[in-house]
Structure 1
Amino acid sequence: MTLGLSTPIDLVRPARIAFGSGTLPSVQRWLDEKGLTRILVVADAFNAGRVDLLGLTGEVTVFGAVKPEPDLPNLEALLALAEQARAQAVIGFGGGSAMDLAKLAAVLPGSGQSLHDVVGPEKVAAKRAALVQVPTTAGTGSEAGTRALVTDPATQNKLAVQSLHMLADLAVIDPDLTLTVPPAVTAATGVDALAHCVEAFTSRKAHPAIDLYALEGARLAGRYLARAIADGSDREARAGMALASLYGGFCLGPVNTTAGHAVAYPLGTRHHIAHGAANALVFPHVLAFNAPAVPEKTALVLEALGLPASSDPQAVLASTHGWCRTLGCEMTLSAYKVPQDDLPAMAAEAHAIRRLLDNNPRDMSREDILAIYRAAY
């Protein structure tokens, strides 16, 4: 299943990555080095309230209204402010949603291109402002990647833009920023990071150059996620999860996710379940479904999580479901008040996300997806 060592692969990383406790001041040092003084910070309401932690000087504009699942109106409000700010540098300060919107704010204002012009791979004309990414959660790995996702309210689908012009010039991962993340969010975002690693590891496009990061990211989650949930002030556990998230981000560019994310997306777009929480709910079901196609890798994933190695679908489902539940993840759709009569429409929507499902190691029909939703109900 895994591609051979000689299979071509493109590896891209932010030009500079600062990782570890106390690295936050490197943001302003870098801006000084580059002579950038007009800054736009893209953040959610919570992080907008602590922009002073960035220690920015110069002319700073803050967009502090990023939504958990950003949609077109949310992006348009940001772009209107960005047009006025004429920023030389854009800083994404928050979770994946803030970092995704920051990518678009660094390439769209003044370009003459709309979001719809750039949906798909490599349609962005140029980078128009320097891009700095500062994650405050350990989950999406968006700081390391070249994709941005925005929900179109008209279709309830995620529009995916992918461009090398949206790669960060600087990523600063200071795990101390995650010390305040509440347990439930720590759990959900942590399983999102794990899912990025595991889906890339078991993908049809899996590659030895990425397997290294994927398996180590899963091991880090296995070792540190429960600790970070139990004690948010555990700095080592927070750093371990920040690294797992970064490694998950490394997996996304060249390999990307598979069915797990496709099956999780309708939970967010149709029912506004947070992306990490949706992934946690779906994760055990998809890993178990794929086990017959990638038995050795499935067993390695379970070992990485500290669970008994197995590739038997029922054993895989039981142990990983229990693992997620022990973390405090909500594991039923009914608890989120998802109407049962919407499951077929959700399955049709997930099944249409070919950019992810075509990478899944085992073909997954609409009926298979519906069966997963029913099992998770």
Structure 2
Amino acid sequence: MTPFTAAHLASPIEIQRPPIIRFGSGTAATAGDWAKSKGARRILVVADAFNAARVETLNLSGEVAVFGEVRPEPDVPNLEAALRVAEDLRPDLVIGFGGGSAMDLAKLVAVLPNSGQSLHEVVGPEKVRAKQSLLAQVPTTAGTGSEAGTRALVTDPATQNKLAVQSFHMLADIAIVDPDLTLTLPAAVTAASGVDAMAHCVEAFTSKKAHPLIDIYAIEGVRLVGRFLARAIRDGSDVEARAGLCLASLYGGFCLGPVNTTSGHAVAYPLGTRHHVAHGAANALVFPHTLAFNAPAAPEKTRAVVEALGLSANGEADVFEATYRYCADLGCEMRLSALGVPRDDLPAMAREAHAIRRLLDNNPRDISENEIRAIYEAAY
């Protein structure tokens, strides 16, 4: 097999990041001062139920409304409920406060209400006409990197597919990354989120669209996960480990805009859309399979990934065994059957995953529908 050729140093690329990124313990409390400095008087916080109960952490003042009903893997009705609140409030500032689901909905809530555009009119790249309010993102997990990106995903219940909206207008005006907010994450969520951050970095690093400008963030993100994820799982109060994972997640977010993910996320998506498996858990289960599948097409980069995780492997089989054991030792569930996925659904899942061309077209190795199904079977 001929290895793919990624971009070289002179290849054009654009990286978009929030103009202000505040990182470190205690920074969440500065959200209120920033909001005041921008003259924001009507604020809408978009959060899940847990984070809705600790909005005071943000130290906000003025008229503050909270949409606290964000669901894992949010769907169109969940978004529509948030949009109704925003249409009534007409906020000056929208704050995404939670994991990737809350931050993705916040992006759409910042651009759609009273805009004259519907969700389906803006699906795809750069179809949003304007931002309707300021946007701040405050992550409370270390996995999605959504605080740094311009893409939002919601599930369409009619098709069970994810609708992807990408727009510069959905870039946060400020991202506040406070590792203290992640101290309460359970070990299982910490593990799955950390592997999600790693998957963003790995898939961008090995993508056909890989670029040296992004590679530096990608491989460092993998190293951070390799260094800190097991530590954070062992001791959730380890602030240095939590900060390391938050930085890995942020770097993964930097990777998503200009390069994006590949087969790992495409194969993982049907687990979430069809069976409501948490995104991080789905990525952890799929990760060893797709990394090993792609290894022949990107041998040097695969070796770098394995070494960055502190592992060793020679050949495709070793890559799979080493990374499977790594994820399993973190406590990730590695069997589809244990997640309640019915075996007779695997063909439909393979069909849906294979149709996600926006990701698979950048995979370093062509992957067929039958090969995706074989991954599901092997993971069952």
**TM-score, scaled relative to structure 1:** 0.99
Give the secondary structure class of the aligned counterpart of 1:61.
Answer: strand
Q: Indicate yes or no: 2:279 matched with 1:299.
A: no
Q: Write the distance in 2 (CA, Å) between the matches of 1:26 and 1:162.
A: 28
Q: Which aligned pairs between 1:30-109 and structure 2 lie closer than 5 A?
A: 30-109=34-113
How many Å separate the matches in 2 of 1:138 and 1:28? Answer: 22
The residue number in structure 2 matching 1:356 is 359
CA distance in 2, matches of 1:41, 1:175: 19
Partner AA of 1:330 in structure 2: E
Deviation at 1:22, TM superposition (A): 1.1
Deviation at 1:309, TM superposition (A): 4.5
Query: Equivalences for 1:147-296 in 2 at 5 Å?
Result: 147-296=151-300
Amino acid in structure 1 at the alignment position of 2:309: L
- The separation in 1 between residues aligned to 2:131 and 2:316, in whole angstroms, is 45
Match of 1:140 among 144, 160, 185: 144
Paired with 1:127 and 1:156, the residues of 2 have a C-alpha distance of 28
Q: Amino acid of the residue matched to residue 366 of structure 1?
A: E
Does structure 2 conserve the Cα–Cα contact (< 8 Å) formed by 1:134 and 1:143?
yes
| 1:305 maps to amino acid | L
Residues of 2 paired with 1:101 and 1:337: CA distance?
Answer: 27
Give the conservation status (yes or no) of the 8 Å contact 1:149–1:161.
yes
Question: Does structure 1 retain, via aligned residues, the 8 Å contact 2:143–2:197?
Answer: yes
2:141–2:185 CA contact under 8 A, matched in 1: yes
The aligned amino acid for 1:371 is: A
Contact 1:47 1:64 in 2 (8 A): yes
Shift of 1:29: 1.4
Paired residue secondary structure (2:196): helix
1-side partners of 2:143 and 2:305: how far apart? 18
Aligned length: 376
1:129 aligns with 2:124: no
Cα drift, residue 140 of structure 1 = 0.1
CA contact (8 A) 2:99 2:144 kept: yes
- 1:240-265 deviation line (CA, Å, top 9, x unaligned): 00000000000000000000000000
2:208–2:362 CA contact under 8 A, matched in 1? yes
Is 1:26 aligned to residue 65 of structure 2? no
Residues 313 and 322 in structure 2, CA contact (< 8 A), matched pair in contact too = no
Cα displacement (A) at 1:26: 2.0
Q: Which AA in structure 1 matches 2:330?
A: L
Q: Distance in 2 between matches of 1:58 and 1:309?
A: 56
Letter in 1 for 2:320: L
One of 313, 318, 321 as aligned partner of 1:318: 321
- Does the 8 Å CA contact 1:300/1:309 hold for their aligned counterparts? no
Distance 1:91 1:309 in 2: 43
Deviation at 1:212, TM superposition (A): 0.0
> Which 5+ residue runs of structure 2 have no aligned equivalent?
none
Shift of 1:8: 0.4
Letter in 2 for 1:154: A
Identity %: 74
Secondary structure of the equivalent of 1:24? helix
What do residues 114-145 of structure 1 show as CA deviations (whole Å, max 9, x unaligned)? Answer: 10010000000100100000000000000000
SS for the counterpart of 1:18 is: strand
Q: 1:302 corresponds to which letter in structure 2?
A: V
Q: Secondary structure at the match of 2:28?
A: coil
Residue 333 of structure 2 is aligned to residue 330 of structure 1: yes
Distance in 1 separating the partners of 2:52 and 2:36: 22
Please tell me whether the aligned partners of residues 196 and 251 of structure 1 are also in contact (alpha carbons under 8 angstroms): yes
Distance in structure 1 (CA, Å) of the matches to 2:179 and 2:24: 6
Question: How far off is 1:24 after superposition?
Answer: 1.2
What displacement does 1:89 show? 0.3
Give the conservation status (yes or no) of the 8 Å contact 2:43–2:94.
yes
1:344 aligns to what? 347
The answer to whether the 8 Å contact 2:30/2:58 transfers is: no
Superposed structure 1 runs of 4+ greater than 4 Å apart: none
What is the rounded CA distance, in whole Å, between the counterparts of 2:193 and 2:116 in structure 1?
35
Q: Is residue 373 from structure 1 mapped to residue 342 from structure 2 by the alignment?
A: no
* Secondary structure of the corresponding residue to residue 131 of structure 2: coil
Supply the AA of the counterpart residue of 1:43: A
In the superposition, the TM-score normalised over structure 2's length comes to 0.98
Separation of aligned partners in 1, 2:344 and 2:139: 37
Q: Deviations over 1:76-135 (max 9, x none)?
A: 000000001110000000000000000000000010111001000000010010000000
SS at match of 2:27: coil
CA-to-aligned-CA distance 1:158-199 (integer Å, 9 cap, x gap): 000000000000000000000000000000010000000000
AA at the equivalent of 2:343? Q
